[in-house]
Chains A and B, each alone.
Chain A
Amino acid sequence: MEKSTYYNPADLAKFGNITEWQSEMGRKFFDYYGEVFKEGALSEREKALIALAVAHAVQCPYCIDAYTVDSMQKGADEAQMMEAVHVAAAIKGGAALVHGVQMMNKAKELSM
């Protein structure tokens, strides 16, 4: 039975097809993308773990699949991958909570 969902795992392999409707921008994006993930000041493994954390923060199922595989291929273990997800969670949670200061400021402004 054909599953009808917004996300289809098979679409990940078709990512390159976005160049079909705008080749120049698509090509520039993929060139840039490839350059970003090359070993540089950070190792490929560190970059894969950062990408895995960001994938969770932006809640992209394609990226979570892709960077789970990539992290494993680059030699990260489960503990490192879960710690990366916790970094994402801490920043997402912290980002919500730090606005509590704004709430407090406003509440104090309005209070006697």
Chain B
Amino acid sequence: MKSLKATGHQLAEPAFQLTVLRQEVVDTLHLPAFHEKLREASLFPLAPVAPAVLQINVGKMCNQVCKHCHVDAGPDRKEIMTRETMQLCLDALAQTDIPTVDLTGGAPEMNPDFRWFVEQIHALGRHIIVRCNLTIIVANKKYHDLPEFFKAHGVEVVSSLPFYTAAKTDSQRGDGVFEDSIRALKMLNAVGYGQEGSGLVLNLVYNPAGAFLPGSQKGLQEQFKRMLFKDHGIVFNSLFAITNIPVSRYLDYLIESGNYAGYMEKLVNAFNPVAAAGVMCRNTISVSWDGFLYDCDFNQMLDLKVASPVRHLRDFDAATLAARTVVVNQHCYGCTAGSGSSCGGTTT
């Protein structure tokens, strides 16, 4: 499987995706545009709060090609953050007291400067989250020591595992992904990750393998804990239930499978004002591989840059950024449905 970009697919274009989203929600389903829904909830324009997370996308290269990927990542994506841009991230961090740096991709570990970057952030005393796809750990001998490296730098590992069985995991993430993920989880457990009292945090991400919303995070976590321990002896800390956002390859899946209208209707009808008030874009600054600034990783993939005179790391100024309002569009319905969704799971 190739990325949408590599196949020249229309949905690789952010502007086309935004058009398709607006057409479905507003023109076809005759539902309110997202900003109108926010206005009804007295939340528009959406103001940011003090940034708690700097989420950095260090590149779109990945060893996997998942069907639902909003980044359209894969081995054929060559966009990778350079060490110079990483230095700009470090300079920006040093100007602020943002406590957490969330590293994502692609597979962030495939960036050749990934370890250097983690070491530098660690030296600044910030908490580091790495969004690890698990299979990278077993993909090549040079990655086998990642669990030890993560441990040495106090990294919180957040890993996608859409289900506790092979069939459903592989249907979303590719053949053999479940088996490799289980091997990697065992390696993480072996150095202490997810083990009680170790202080090494291993969180899993569940996102539905299909066109439906996640159920109760608590119920899913109990089920995952029980089944992964029973079948594989694996332990972990928390499960984050994340809603699939209709962007890029997931949007393509929805359209191709005939589920697009039904899914969008479900998202809009499940709009929850409490979830809308707690969306992660309010306390996050997202950085792309080439140093531009966004309100979240989804906006990044839709090329919706921050509404601020500061749009690139080289002009970074926390006070100017704090005065912006968050850029929203129809895909935002994904984070405000039901119990809400963020990179840290439900928000209500």
Partner of A43, one of B167, B219, B224: B219
Q: Is B216 an interface residue (CB 8 A)?
A: yes
- Bitwise, B178-222 to A at CB < 8 A (1) or not (0) is 000000000000000000000000000010101011111011101
The answer, yes or no, to whether A56 is at the interface (CB within 8 Å) is no
A70 to B208 alpha-carbon distance, docked (Å): 12
B218 to chain A, nearest CB (A): 8
A72 beta carbon closer than 8 Å to chain B: yes
Contact across chains for B168 and A43 when beta carbons are under 8 A apart: no
- Tell whether A61 is near chain B: CB-to-CB under 8 Å: no
- The answer to whether A39 and B216 have CB atoms under 8 Å apart is yes
Assess the B216–A44 pair: CB atoms within 8 A: yes
Q: Contact between B212 and A74 (Cβ–Cβ < 8 Å)?
A: no
B219 adjacent to A75 (CB under 8 Å): yes
**Known: A43-B222, A45-B223. Is A75-B215 also a contact (CB below 8 A)?**
yes
Report A37 CB to chain B, min CB distance, Å.
11
Contact partner of A77 among B165, B218, B219, CB < 8 A? B165
Q: How big is chain B's contact interface, by range?
A: 10 to 19
B163 at the interface (CB under 8 A from A): yes
Q: Which residues of A contact B212 (CB under 8 A)?
A: 69, 72-73
| CB neighbours of A73 from chain B (8 A) | 208, 212-215
- Which B residues touch A78, using CB under 8 A? 167-168
Sorting the interface of chain A by its residue count into under 10, 10 to 19, 20 to 34 or 35 or more gives 10 to 19
Interface string of A69-108 (1 = CB under 8 A from B): 1101111011100000000000000000000000000000
Q: Which residues of A contact B167 (CB under 8 A)?
A: 77-78
Whose C-beta in chain B lies nearest to the C-beta of A79? B165
Q: Note all chain A residues with C-beta closer than 8 A to B208.
A: 72-73
Q: How far is the CA of A79 from the CA of B165 in the complex (A)?
A: 10
User: Is the Cβ of A74 less than 8 Å from the Cβ of B210?
Assistant: no
Which residues of the other chain, B, contact A45 by a CB distance below 8 angstroms? 215, 219, 223
Residues of A contacting B218 in the complex (Cβ-Cβ under 8 angstroms): 39
- Are A77 and B163 neighbours in the complex by a CB distance under 8 Å? yes
- Most A Cβ at <10 Å: residue of B163, B168, B213, B215: B215
A75 to B216, CA, bound (A): 9
Name the A residues within 8 Å of B223 (CB-CB): 43, 45, 75
Expressed in whole angstroms, the minimum distance between the Cβ of A78 and any Cβ of chain B is: 8
Residue of A nearest to B163 (CB): A77
Closest residue to B222 on the A side, CB-wise? A43
Residues of B in contact with A (beta carbons under 8 Å apart): 163, 165, 167-168, 206, 208, 210, 212-216, 218-220, 222-224
Q: A39-B216, A39-B218, A43-B219 are in contact. List 5 more A-B contacts (CB 8 A).
A: A44-B215, A74-B215, A75-B219, A77-B165, A79-B165
Pull 9 A–B residue pairs with CB atoms less than 8 Å apart, ordered by A.
A43-B219, A43-B222, A45-B215, A45-B223, A73-B214, A74-B215, A75-B206, A77-B168, A78-B167
